[in-house]
Amino acid sequence: EFIKLMWLVTVLCCLCSSAASSLWHMNDFIKAVEQLEDGNPQLAPLAVLRSLRGAAGLNDAFIQHFLGNASSGGLEMDASLSDYMGKAVRHRVTEDGREQGVALTSDGTTVALKPLLLGIEAGFLSKTKGHVVGLYQLTLAKDLGLSFKHVHRSPLSPRLGPDGCWDNVTSPKVFTLSGSPSLITTAQVNGGMDGVILGMEIFVQSGHPLKLSSLLKAYYCHRLENEGLDVVQHPISPQRREKFRELIVPPLLARQVVRSINLRRRLKGHPKMQVKEKKQLMAVVNKGMKEFVFQYMNCPAIIPRCAWDAEPYRGTPTLLSLPLSFMYIHHTSTPSQPCLTFEQCAADMRSMQRFHQEDRGWDDIGYSFVAGSDGYIYEGRGWHWQGAHTYGHNSRGYGVAFIGDYSSRLPSQHSMGLVRDQLASCAVGGGRLVGNFTLQGHRQVVNTLCPGDAFYKEIQGWEHFGVWDSVTSSGHYVDT
pLDDT value, residue 146: 96
Task: Kindly tell me the burial class for residue 213, based on how many C-beta atoms sit within 10 Å of its own C-beta (0-12, 13-18, 19 or more).
Answer: buried
Distances in whole angstroms, Cα of residue 88 to Cα of each of 39, 43, 192, 393: 19, 21, 16, 48
pLDDT value, residue 14: 45
- Cβ neighbours of 359 (radius 10 Å): 8
The Cα–Cα gap between 323 and 472 comes to 19
Distances in whole angstroms, Cα of residue 194 to Cα of each of 23, 64, 119, 140: 21, 21, 8, 10
| CA 161 from centre of chain | 11
pLDDT value, residue 7: 34
Distances in whole angstroms, Cα of residue 177 to Cα of each of 118, 151, 187: 23, 19, 10
pLDDT lower than 70: segments of the chain:
1-22, 72-74, 468-480
Instruction: Give domain limits for the chain.
Output: 26-223+234-298, 306-460
Cα dihedral 294, 299, 301, 302 sign = negative
Q: Which residues lie across from 477 on neighbouring strands?
A: 466
pLDDT value, residue 8: 37
pLDDT tens across 91-128, in order? 999 999 999 999 999 999 999 999 999 999 999 999 99
Contacts with 242 (C-beta within 8 Å, 6 or more apart), sequence order: none
Distances in whole angstroms, Cα of residue 107 to Cα of each of 238, 240, 367: 7, 11, 21
H, E, C per residue of the chain: CCCCCCHHHHHHHCCCCCCCCCCCEHHHHHHHHHHHHHHCCCCCHHHHHHHHHHHHCCCCHHHHHHHCCCCCCCCCCCHHHHHHHHHHHCCEECCCCEEECEEECCCCCEEEHHHHHHHHHHHHHHHHHCCCCCHHHHHHHHHHHHHHHHHHHCCCCCCCCCCEEECCCCCCCCEEECCCCCCCCHHHHHHHHHHHHHHHHHHHCCCCCCCHHHHHHHHHCCCCCCCHHHHCCCCCHHHHHHHHHHHCCHHHHHHHHHHHHHHHHHHCCCCCCCHHHHHHHHHHHHHHHHHHHHHHHHCCCEECCCCCCCCCCCCCCCECCCCEEEEEEEECCCCCCCCCCHHHHHHHHHHHHHHHHHHCCCCCCCCCEEECCCCCEEECCCCCECCCCCCCCCCCEEEEEECCCCCCCCCCHHHHHHHHHHHHHHHHHCCCEEEEEEEEEHHHCCCCCCCCHHHHHHHCCCCCEEEEECCCCEEEECCC
Backbone angles phi, psi at 435, to 5 degrees: -60, -30
Its CATH architecture, for the domain 306-460, is: 3-Layer(aba) Sandwich (3.40)
pLDDT tens across 353-377, in order? 999 999 999 999 999 999 999 999 9
Q: Which amino acid belongs to residue 153?
A: R
pTM as predicted: 0.92
Kind of pairing between the strands at 369-371 and 433-441: unpaired
pLDDT value, residue 156: 86
